[in-house]
Chains A and B, each alone.
Chain A
Amino acid sequence: MKNMWSITKRELQAYFVSPIAYVVGAIFLCFSGLFFYIQVLQYEYYSNYSQQMMSYGYGQMPNVNQVVYIGFFFWLQLILILVIPLLTMRLFAEEKRTGTEELLLTSPLSVGQIVSGKFLASLLLFLILLLLSGLSALFGFLYGNPELLPILSGYLGLLLIGAAFISMGMLFSAVTENQIIAAVLSFGTLLILQFLYYVFLFSSGFFKDILGSVSFTSHFINLIQGNLDTADLVYFLSFTFFGLFLTQSVIQSRRWR
């Protein structure tokens, strides 16, 4: 635990002295603000329309959670596909390139401690970004009255999907010593997995069931709709642990080259 925290501290320090955290954070927060704004505009459009309908005696006002937040969360998840690989690409690739990996692996630390320490650092940085993006979500409470629980469930969903993305990004960072390759591999893989969801939407039968349980998007959508289901939690947690386990195995196995 103590060893893991030493790694985490150093990683966080490295994030904050390099421009990466700031650039990626700024881009993420810009997008997050923009997406929230788009969703609010959309809400305005719908509510004007609904008011007209209601003056004729039917229809109802749109639901803030449905229109603003679900869309907002979905957009954020899309941008994470770009953002997370930029946060994770450095983690192992850079250590290998500069040779500092040799220092870590010849210290009395386990590979598990190194992997989990780095994972925790990325997760904490991501959590900070997520909390900052929550500032725009707070405006919803200032000018409307959305339900809190579905929003919390949505944020839990973002945290879980972020953790899963981080573990996958780390795996790709562990297999190469080139940061760009690590980022492109994670970006490509995440994008392909994302598109699986659209295959899922337009397929049918047994194939659809399988895609539905494999695709992270379908699980994520459950969470942002406020349906907190253990199956989805288990899915994301096992995705993350599997990624971390593979990362650890890749690093262990390099000793045996």
Chain B
Amino acid sequence: MIVVEHLTKKYGDLVAVRDLSFTVDKGKIWGLLGPNGSGKTTTMRVLTGYLSATEGRASVGGFDVFEQPNQVKMIIGYLPENVPLYPEMTVSGYLRFVTEIKQVPRPKRREAVDRVLEAAGLEPVRNRLLRNISRGFKQRVGIAQALIHDPQVLILDEPTIGLDPAQIVEIRQLIKSLRRDRTIMLSSHILQEVSQTCDGVAIISEGRLIVSSSLTELASSFADREGIILKVRKGGREAAALMRKVSGVDKVEQDGTELRLEWAKGRDPREEILSIISQKELGLLEMRPMTPTVEDIYLKAISGGTAQ
């Protein structure tokens, strides 16, 4: 549904996006993950036709973003990072205006406004001025305007930024409920967001793609490694030195009294580790398996290496 091929965008000498390629299949929710300034917003702006690209191609729903911008704009609903609101308009007046510029046919406009007011839970504020509603409602209005022409593709730039935890949960629920047969792409620098809402993730850093795949595939790419996290009462450094000697353990990270041990799958040195700890009376407080999370991949990715 969304295809990006060798996309490069430069602002003068600054390269914001560098040779970026990824694909999002129809009906998936894909997260665009990366630290601030990694090129997420730029990528989304190119996809929505707000910015041109320096090199490369992109298409949405089979339409080329640069050759057929209007067709692309007809099928995309876009929530920019700064929710584009006219403070002097009422919620419903604003949505009415958006139906007009998004080419919703006149007889369907009222229905479209009512539909998104309900979908985004905006009924209680429909006649309030946009300048007077809370941050959470503003974000909902932003999502409502993106939905108004019932687009096949939703592009949401940082949909939960600046919200309080309760609002974040609500907006996530809302995004999941919008799914049906839509393709959704959302950007975030928050990991839980992606692991909780998305089917897959494209991680970018400094404008480069680190990895793009489904969350299950990502987890299984870690499957040839296993590990545990240990917590001892005292002597973290000493414990780490001992653990390095255990056969099979090829990676030991120590942080105070917490140790992270890894080994290749199938070598399971856990019993040996346990017996060393009890012999040396290190005082085992905690021992749990290390399951790779999006966090691990992400942290590895942005610290320079790749996910593998």
Binding site for B on A (CB under 8 A): 2-3, 6-7, 9-10, 13-14, 17-18, 98-109, 255-257
Contacts and interface: CB of A to CB of B under 8 A. Distances in A.
Nearest to A109: B101
A160 to B, nearest CB: 30
Contact of A106 (B76, B85, B86, B100): B76
Contact of B88 (A7, A17, A105): A17
B101 A104 contact: yes
Ranked 3 nearest A-B pairs via Cβ:
A99-B82, A103-B84, A6-B100
Nearest to B99: A6
Given A10-B97, A14-B88, A102-B84, A107 B102 contact: yes
Contacts of B84: 98-103
B84 to A, nearest CB: 4
Contacts of B219: none
A106 B75 CA distance: 11
A29 to B, nearest CB: 23
A100 B48 CA distance: 14
Q: Which of A17, A99, A104, A108 has the most CB of B within 10 A?
A: A108
Given A14-B88, A108-B73, A255 B52 contact: yes
Contacts of A18: 88
Interface string B93-105: 1000110111100
Interface residues of B, number: 31
Nearest to B129: A17
A1 to B, nearest CB: 12
Contacts of B81: 99
A18 B86 CA distance: 12
Interface of B: 11-12, 45, 48-52, 70, 73-74, 76, 78, 80-89, 93, 97-98, 100-103, 145
Given A7-B101, A18-B88, A108-B103, 12 more contacts: A2-B100, A3-B101, A13-B88, A14-B86, A17-B88, A99-B81, A99-B82, A100-B84, A100-B85, A106-B49, A107-B102, A255-B52
A256 to B, nearest CB: 5
Given A99-B82, A255-B51, A107 B101 contact: yes
Contacts of B83: 99
A9 B45 CA distance: 27
B78 A106 contact: yes
A41 B186 CA distance: 69
A192 B285 CA distance: 81
Contacts of A103: 80, 84, 98, 101, 145
7 contacts: A13-B89, A14-B88, A98-B87, A99-B82, A100-B86, A102-B78, A106-B49
A205 to B, nearest CB: 46
A105 B50 contact: yes
Nearest to A94: B86
A105 B85 CA distance: 14
Contacts of B89: 10, 13
A100 B83 CA distance: 8
A256 B100 CA distance: 27
A98 B97 contact: no
A164 to B, nearest CB: 28
A9 B50 CA distance: 23
Contacts of A17: 88
Given A14-B86, A14-B88, A102-B80, A108 B70 contact: yes
Contacts of B50: 102, 105-106, 255
A113 B204 CA distance: 36
Nearest to A257: B11
